């Protein structure tokens, strides 16, 4: 089996196979993280092929024999040129890096595009917020795991001075953003039928009551 396909298969079967990888520690985890990060950052195809092959070997070493045998043991991996578009049920090789390193479930054919869209929006990191006089650890803020697991805070949550909008904190509490930050961020940044625009675009327009009402309507309607 092609190494990229091995990694994509593990990503697609994460609920079953993930525990074998998340339990890794020390040097084994460091080697696997390094290989997956290299795969994610690789530009040239030969570089990508090398990282994929190394990551696939390391992954198979972590799995029970029956699972490794099903995927193709290390000696049976074909070192053919991995295809960037190889997917298994819509999951790709680099999705494994998102799951294991970033700690994000936002991968695959449905959630992967949502993750990419939300992370492409303006965001601040902790240093940005502190430089502007804000507190990046303030309760109620949406924090999304970006590349490498580095937390980013969607920019819309803050005024120009990096203090959070009060209504953002109120709505985030209604949406249970601590449990589901991706869902909360998607609510703020997607067109809303009730408001007829993206909720984030209404911040600072004296329509806070409408924002709270729209969020409450969503929650109460679940």
- Triad 187, 193, 199: Cα angle to 5°: 40
Residue 154, Cβ density class (10 Å: 0-12 exposed, 13-18 middle, ≥19 buried):
buried
Q: How far is CA 212 from CA 71, 126, 143, 160, 183, in A?
A: 49, 27, 20, 22, 16
Q: Which of 70, 71, 72, 108 is nearest to 87 (CA)?
A: 108
Residue in this structure with the two tokens 């936002």, named with its chain if needed: 106
What phi and psi, each to the nearest 5 degrees, are found at residue 85? -100, 10
How does pLDDT run across 111-157, given as a tens digit for each residue? 999 999 999 999 999 999 998 888 999 999 999 998 888 899 999 99
Q: Which of 129, 183, 190, 193 is nearest to 155 (CA)?
A: 129
Which residues, in sequence order, are CB contacts of 47 under 8 Å at separation 6+? 38
pLDDT of residue 79: 45
Model confidence at 222, pLDDT cuts 50, 70, 90, reads low
Give the least confident one: 61-70, 83-92, 121-130, 165-174. 83-92
Q: Are 202 and 211 in contact (CB under 8 A)?
A: yes
- Triad 111, 108, 175: Cα angle to 5°: 20
- For residue 168, pLDDT over 70 is answered with yes
What element of type H or E holds 27? Answer: helix 26-41
Domain boundaries, the chain: 3-103, 116-220
CB count in 10 Å sphere of residue 103: 10
- For residue 76, pLDDT over 60 is answered with no
Q: Greater confidence, 45 or 222?
A: 45
- For residue 72, pLDDT over 90 is answered with no
pLDDT cut 90: percent of the chain above it: 76
Q: Helices 14-22 and 3-12 meet at what angle, rounded to 10?
A: 100
9-17 mean pLDDT: 96
Q: What is the mean pLDDT of the chain?
A: 91
Residue in this structure with the two tokens 């009402």, named with its chain if needed: 213
pLDDT cut 70: percent of the chain above it: 94
């Amino acid at each position: 089996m092609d190494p990229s396909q091995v990694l994509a298969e593990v990503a697609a079967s994460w609920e079953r196979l993930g525990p074998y990888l998340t339990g890794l520690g020390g040097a084994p985890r460091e080697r696997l993280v390094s290989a997956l990060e290299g795969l994610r950052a690789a530009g040239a195809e030969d570089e990508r092929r090398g990282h994929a092959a190394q990551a696939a070997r390391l992954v198979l070493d972590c799995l029970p024999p029956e699972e490794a045998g099903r995927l193709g043991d290390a000696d049976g991996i074909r070192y053919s040129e991995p295809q960037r578009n190889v997917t298994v049920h819509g999951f790709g090789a680099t999705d494994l890096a998102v799951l294991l390193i970033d700690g994000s479930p936002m991968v695959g054919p449905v959630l992967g595009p949502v993750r990419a869209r939300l992370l492409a929006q303006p965001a601040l990191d902790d240093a940005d917020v502190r430089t502007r006089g804000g507190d990046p650890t303030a309760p109620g803020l949406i924090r999304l795991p970006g590349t490498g697991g580095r937390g980013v805070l969607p920019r819309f949550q803050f005024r120009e001075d990096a203090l959070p909008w009060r209504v953002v904190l109120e709505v985030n509490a209604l949406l249970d953003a601590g449990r589901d930050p991706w869902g909360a961020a998607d609510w703020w940044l997607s067109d809303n039928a009730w408001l007829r625009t993206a909720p984030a675009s209404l911040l600072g327009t004296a329509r806070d009551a409408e924002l709270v009402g729209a969020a409450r309507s969503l929650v109460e309607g679940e």
